Amino acid sequence: MFERILIANRGEIACRIIRTAKRLGISTVAVYSEADAGALHTEEADEAFCIGPAPARDSYLSVEKIIAIALRSGVQAIHPGYGFLSENADFATACAAAGLVFIGPPPSAIRLMGSKSGAKSLMEQSGVPLVPGYHGDAQDPDIFAQVAIRIGYPVLVKASAGGGGKGIRVVERPDDLQSALESARREAESFFGDGKLLIEKYLQNPRHIEIQIFADRHDNFVSLFERDCSIQRRHQKVVEEAPAPGMNEESRAAMSKAAIAAARAVGYVGAGTVEFIAQGDDFWFMEMNTRLQVEHPVTEMITGQDLVEWQLCVACGESLPVRQEDLRIAGHSFEVRICAEDPSRDFLPSVGRILHLREPDASECVRLDSGMRAGDQISSSYDSMLAKLIVWGENRGAALRQLRTALSHYEIVGVKTNLDLLRAIASHRSFANGDVDTGFISRHANDLLASPPIDAGHARMAVCAVVAALMDDWREDAAGNAYRSEDRWSPWNTPDAWRMNGEGRQTLVLRTGDAELTIGVRFAGETLCVEFPDRTVEVIASREGARMSLRIEDHSVKVSVVRTGDDFAVLAGGRISLVTFIDPSRLPRSVHAGDNRLTAPIPARVTRVLVKPGQSVAKGAPLMVIEAMKMEITLAAPFDGVVSAVRARLDEMVREGAELVTFEPRGVD
């Protein structure tokens, strides 16, 4: 076994690999960009080295820098994780040339299966069913147009070297094909360094089933069964589960046989995933991922195996630890991806600092793979995934109960996340029935993307929590003032609304949603009497950090209260309420609408400038393309007008709110 390895990755996967390495007594070396200085994976590793600026091309994608650090730190092998260089055959070759073991498949297998076009050709020769389309070398747009007409719209344009949902466009009609080809090629070149594309028939709402395979250098191959990864957004997975609901033994055996045949055909070694799309009893080969998958934990949960340990053993030349007949499916597992994004704004990435983080407790049934902590800055330079929540149960129903409970205990404040979406999916009747396919989110969008309802009782509880937090903060301020005062017993140094000839009462104005609420607060020892317009309630609260034990009359509840200036987030049971304290001593903040300006919705890099000063544009016309968190965002004109200024340059990094284009609202020529 290795004594020392380098992890050429970041975030939760780096932390996950480090945990297995530590258990096996293997020393670990981490690498990090300047944006990740002090990140969790750098602290969990035994050593860590900075490899460059935030952009991945200057750090995590730099083969030369990573090899140099590996040699300098004296490691024997490099684990690439997933993403970045994990499916880069040149990197695997460079490792071997430097005398380092690449913990992954041979470069030849990466090249063959890393190209979607090449993989499809190989599968076609092996008799594996393929979705109708074109995966040849010629890239003339006319060829794609002819194929699209032959197989019929809608079609799917895909990056040949792609993965992770990048370089994929659904095209509904011929007029959109050219722009889809250009956009997919640009994204493919940006993320994979290869703009080659393929086209295939777009199957409406199939299931996405993948088989986890493993192979060693002694011609042993096994299937660790299937995962259902059908619930997706933007062709990226959101929820995964194993085994696939409704999968029968015949289909499982047929898919496993096809997956192992594919691996044998390329002389595969290590962990790999063969992905299929399925409708009814039919399935078609889609691609093979020559690496460990993001969703590998659900396979580990139902088989009791550690796939990273398997990777390390196989890379050392050992045989697979078990045979096919030794593997069994035990129970059911779900994985959900917690991402920094706003589902209500078409999954726009979110950046910022994590002000508050509370995770569900880990147990035999609940696992967290995370690389974040409270206080971490979420950068626009990398993928939006923050963490993964994995649960297990004896059956699908038991696992689903674990998932719902764990999600109700997950709290993140500071960046927008998809937690509400995940809770909505876990609570949806169709999901509970196993009625899943790739169109699940779009089909149930009205249910899944609606704001969670906040009942009157929850809203009242949130207001009481904010009142208690304000009083607690004022008590602390008063205690500090009293300590510094010459007369520390002065009544002016108390926050209890003391009056010489009357009852102490404080009036507060709070904003909840679009409404302002005026309430009174009276003090009775440790009890607060909170006067709402319709009733008065007695409140007792104690707080430790962000956690508050709150008793409102006969109801006790634990909540989290996170304050940012005069804004409060109150979290309980997976629901969040936002309350703002209106401080009468502060001047109102001015707001500039900026209707004639196009601004950056998120810190990003400008990848295309599509207009110039003096150009007339129609409402909805694309003006600029920016890239953030591995997502391309096209910014469009909000109305008909004429561009008066372009204020961002190609490849420039822009901050959130930066003015990009200024235009005047005039009729189009």
**Residue pLDDT, tens place only, 274-310:** 999 998 888 999 889 999 999 999 999 999 999 999 9
Backbone angles phi, psi at 118, to 5 degrees: -65, -40
pLDDT for 504 beyond 60: yes
CATH number at 456-479+503-581: 3.30.700.30
- 117 vs 59: which has the higher pLDDT: 59
Chain-centre distance for alpha carbon 57: 20
What pLDDT sits at residue 485?
A: 63
CB neighbours of residue 506 within 10 Å: 17
What pLDDT sits at residue 493?
A: 57
What pLDDT sits at residue 445?
A: 94
Confidence of residue 520 (pLDDT cuts 50, 70, 90): very high
In the numeric block, the tokens 């340990």 are attached to 309
What pLDDT sits at residue 488?
A: 59
What pLDDT sits at residue 23?
A: 97
**107-114 vs 116-125: helix axis angle to the nearest 10?**
90
The token pair at 67 is 């090899």
CA–CA distances in Å: residue 321 to residues 104, 238, 243, 272: 17, 31, 22, 16
pLDDT for 630 beyond 90: no
What pLDDT sits at residue 213?
A: 97
In the numeric block, the tokens 């996950």 are attached to 16
What pLDDT sits at residue 595?
A: 60
Report, as an integer, the average pLDDT of 169-196: 88
321: Cβ–Cβ under 8 A, 6 or more apart, which residues?
305, 310, 313
Report, as an integer, the average pLDDT of 58-69: 97
CA atoms within 13 A on the CB side of 15: 17
CB neighbours of residue 426 within 10 Å: 23
Q: What is the pTM of this model?
A: 0.84
- Interior CA angle at 250 toward 245 and 254, to 5°? 100
pLDDT in tens, 559-600: 999 999 899 999 998 889 999 999 876 655 433 334 677 888
The token pair at 321 is 């630890």
Domain 4-103 identical in fold to domain 207-448:
no
146: Cβ–Cβ under 8 A, 6 or more apart, which residues?
none
- Pick from 202, 194, 195: nearest CA to 176: 202
What pLDDT sits at residue 487?
A: 64
What pLDDT sits at residue 253?
A: 95
Range of weakest confidence among 157-171, 284-298, 637-651: 157-171
Domain 4-103 bears CATH identifier 3.40.50.20 = yes
CATH architecture type of domain 597-664: Beta Barrel (2.40)
- Pick from 478, 454, 334: nearest CA to 406: 334
Backbone angles phi, psi at 309, to 5 degrees: -60, -40
- Residue 185 known to be catalytic: no
652: Cβ–Cβ under 8 A, 6 or more apart, which residues?
605, 606
Choose the catalytic residue: 16, 185, 291, 337: 291
What pLDDT sits at residue 199?
A: 94
What pLDDT sits at residue 148?
A: 94
What pLDDT sits at residue 162?
A: 66
CB neighbours of residue 492 within 10 Å: 10
Range of weakest confidence among 336-350, 427-441, 497-511: 497-511
- 410 vs 166: which has the higher pLDDT: 410
CATH number at 207-448: 3.30.470.20
pLDDT in tens, 198-211: 999 888 889 999 99
Domain layout of the chain by residue ranges: 4-103, 132-201, 207-448, 456-479+503-581, 597-664
pLDDT for 499 beyond 80: no
- 114 vs 519: which has the higher pLDDT: 519
pLDDT for 519 beyond 80: yes
Report, as an integer, the average pLDDT of 223-236: 94
Alpha-carbon distance of 601 to 41, in angstroms, equals 29
3-state helix, strand, coil in the chain (%, to 5): 30, 35, 40
CA–CA distances in Å: residue 70 to residues 5, 27, 43, 205: 8, 13, 18, 45
pLDDT for 370 beyond 50: yes
Q: In percent, how much of the chain has pLDDT > 90? A: 67
pLDDT for 221 beyond 50: yes
The class (CATH top level) of 132-201 is alpha beta
Report, as an integer, the average pLDDT of 132-151: 92
What pLDDT sits at residue 496?
A: 59
CA atoms within 13 A on the CB side of 371: 28
Q: Are strands 332-339 and 341-342 parallel, antiparallel or unpaired?
A: unpaired
pLDDT in tens, 439-451: 999 999 999 998 7
